[in-house]
Amino acid sequence: MAPAAVPLNIKWLPLNSKLKAKSQLQTSSRNIEFERVQLPEKTRNSRVLVLGGTGRVGGSTAIALSNLCPDLRILVAGRNREKGEALVAKLGGNSGFSQVDLNDQDSLQTALQDVDLVVHTAGPFQQAEKCSVLEAAINTKTAYVDVCDDTSYAVRAKSFMSRALAANVPAITTGGIYPGVSNVMAAELVRAAETETEEDKPERLRFSYYTAGTGGAGPTILATSFLLLGEEVIAYSKEIRIPLQYMVFRNLPEVRSAFEILGVPTVSARFGTAPFFWNWGMEAMTNLLPPEFLRDRSKVQMLVELFDPVVRAVDGIAGERVSMRVDLELSSGRSKVGLFSHSKLSISVGIATAAFALAILEGSTQPGVWFPEEAQGLAIEAREVLLQRASQGTFNFVMNRSPWTIETNPKELGLGIYV
Ligand SMILES: NC(=O)c1ccc[n+]([C@@H]2O[C@H](COP(=O)([O-])OP(=O)(O)OC[C@H]3O[C@@H](n4cnc5c(N)ncnc54)[C@H](OP(=O)(O)O)[C@@H]3O)[C@@H](O)[C@H]2O)c1
């Protein structure tokens, strides 16, 4: 189907707007109302295995899936039965626990035998040697989505393209909140700009991410953050790949995929956190510790154990608000912005990941291994639905706006007149 010609202009999407059917489930900290999704008949009762479901991202994804589609059969998978069964008790009758170690290929393949979709959230993806879950998914003909946030891992996942095609398996890599929803926001800003005028070309794309504290991170994200400090940061400036020295820039896979797939010549991603001294601490670690140390998973694990109590204490005060802003600059000098803000990263990341899982179950992903901004990974006409689903619970979500409209909070009097 041809892409819609109208520019996407989703405004702030208050929670509870236009809800058809609602469902509520006690999440870790509060009740959220979800708009239920009617899946096609043949996937309505699909079996979805959430690997890493005992963790923060996986647990939140399982909760969101069960809220959005109560008919799905959800398998929480991980190594720890006790933690898994505690979540299963919350999810209710349609769920179960599956004991899986992703380092044991046999246990993985056995677990995926009768599963329709695997959601892989069992990081860290940094410095992982194999894409064992994707490989098992292809061998068992199971659809796949991961929340990978590592460039090398995502590139390795893409190398399974021909095997996934041959097995007729649809797979998305980097399908979380960022990367994930942020890629789709970028893709839609570019599409809307290109639809509006042929002369005005996308020139520069900037991903800016903010999370208060560590965003209530589990130990895996803490490890991820440290491992990312050991990586050379790559951005693209006028189609030239440049390593960056500054700590605020991060080596994130969406920089590469946006550059290669959306064809924007200058792309970068930055990350900031609060309180301010976390940024200083990260910068100090980058400067003081050798990169080889920060790339060693076992040494990083020791750091995580050392820092974990301090991180938990500061997180208790900082909260876990998350905000992402995608800026697209055009050759005429015009800019368009997308903004997404949620008060709880731990909830929002699950809703975002669930939105990708549902898109696969709805048939919006073709066989092969795809990034979210690829039309074969997420059909162009399915993007708006994904963004609306993923932004449930946000306190601010806008797309394709001029920067001044979100920076000054203007009031529209009508007929395009603002004060
Ligand atoms: N794309 C995005 O938007 C995004 C956003 C946030 C996080 N992430 C990524 O998501 C990942 C998970 O983060 P998190 O905060 O959820 O971490 P977490 O709370 O520590 O959870 C990690 C989970 O993985 C499971 N796991 C670890 N090793 C395993 C193994 N060998 N076999 C089976 N299960 C294993 C753990 O379960 P058991 O210990 O019970 O086995 C645990 O449930 C991280 O890699 C992070 O970078 C991506």
CATH number at residue 190: 3.30.360.10
What is the predicted pLDDT for the residue at 184?
Answer: 97
Q: What is the percentage of the chain residues whose pLDDT exceeds 70?
A: 79
Mutation choice for ligand 1 from 220, 226, 252, CB with most ligand atoms inside 8 A: 220
What is the predicted pLDDT for the residue at 304?
Answer: 78
The residue segments making up the domain with residue 267 are 181-342+400-407
The residue-averaged pLDDT of 343-368 equals 96
Count CB-CB contacts under 10 A for residue 268. 23
CA of 237 relative to ligand 1 center, distance in Å: 33
User: What are the two backbone dihedrals, phi and then psi, of residue 215, each rounded to the nearest 5 degrees?
Assistant: 75, 30
- Please tell me the distance from the alpha carbon of residue 333 to that of residue 81, in angstroms, as a whole number: 55
Same-domain status, 260 and 362: no
- Please tell me the distance from the alpha carbon of residue 144 to that of residue 19, in angstroms, as a whole number: 29
Q: Strand 117-120 to strand 202-212: parallel, antiparallel, or no bridges (unpaired)?
A: unpaired
Same-domain status, 361 and 306: no
The residue-averaged pLDDT of 239-263 equals 70
Q: Does residue 6 fall inside a structural domain?
A: no
Contacts of residue 278, Cβ cutoff 8 Å, sequence gap at least 6: 213, 214, 314
Q: Does residue 161 fall inside a structural domain?
A: yes
CA of 412 relative to ligand 1 center, distance in Å: 44
From the CB of 101, is ligand 1 less than 6 Å away?
A: yes
Domain count, the chain: 2
What is the predicted pLDDT for the residue at 207?
Answer: 93
- Please tell me the distance from the alpha carbon of residue 118 to that of residue 146, in angstroms, as a whole number: 8
- Please tell me the distance from the alpha carbon of residue 18 to that of residue 67, in angstroms, as a whole number: 17
What is the predicted pLDDT for the residue at 18?
Answer: 37
Q: Does residue 5 fall inside a structural domain?
A: no
From the CB of 149, is ligand 1 less than 6 Å away?
A: yes
Q: Of the candidates 380, 411, 405, which has an alpha carbon nearest to the alpha carbon of residue 194?
A: 380
Q: In this structure, are residues 379 and 355 in contact, taking their beta carbons and an 8 Å threshold?
A: no
What is the predicted pLDDT for the residue at 245?
Answer: 39
- Please tell me the distance from the alpha carbon of residue 403 to that of residue 16, in angstroms, as a whole number: 26
Q: Of the candidates 339, 329, 201, 208, which has an alpha carbon nearest to the alpha carbon of residue 268?
A: 208
Q: Of the candidates 96, 91, 146, 94, which has an alpha carbon nearest to the alpha carbon of residue 117?
A: 146
Same-domain status, 171 and 40: yes
What is the predicted pLDDT for the residue at 198?
Answer: 78
Same-domain status, 33 and 147: yes
What residue's CA is closest to ligand 1, atom 17? 220
Q: How far is CA 379 from CA 69, 155, 241, 295, in A?
A: 21, 21, 29, 36
What is the predicted pLDDT for the residue at 61?
Answer: 97
Residue 246 pLDDT > 70, yes or no?
A: no
Torsion of CA 63, 361, 143, 228, to 10 degrees: -50
What is the predicted pLDDT for the residue at 29?
Answer: 36
Q: What pLDDT band is residue 222 in, cutting at 50, 70 and 90?
A: low
Q: Does residue 200 fall inside a structural domain?
A: yes
Q: What pLDDT band is residue 13 in, cutting at 50, 70 and 90?
A: very low
What is the predicted pLDDT for the residue at 187?
Answer: 96
Same-domain status, 287 and 382: no
Residue 249 pLDDT > 60, yes or no?
A: no
Amino acid identity at 319: G
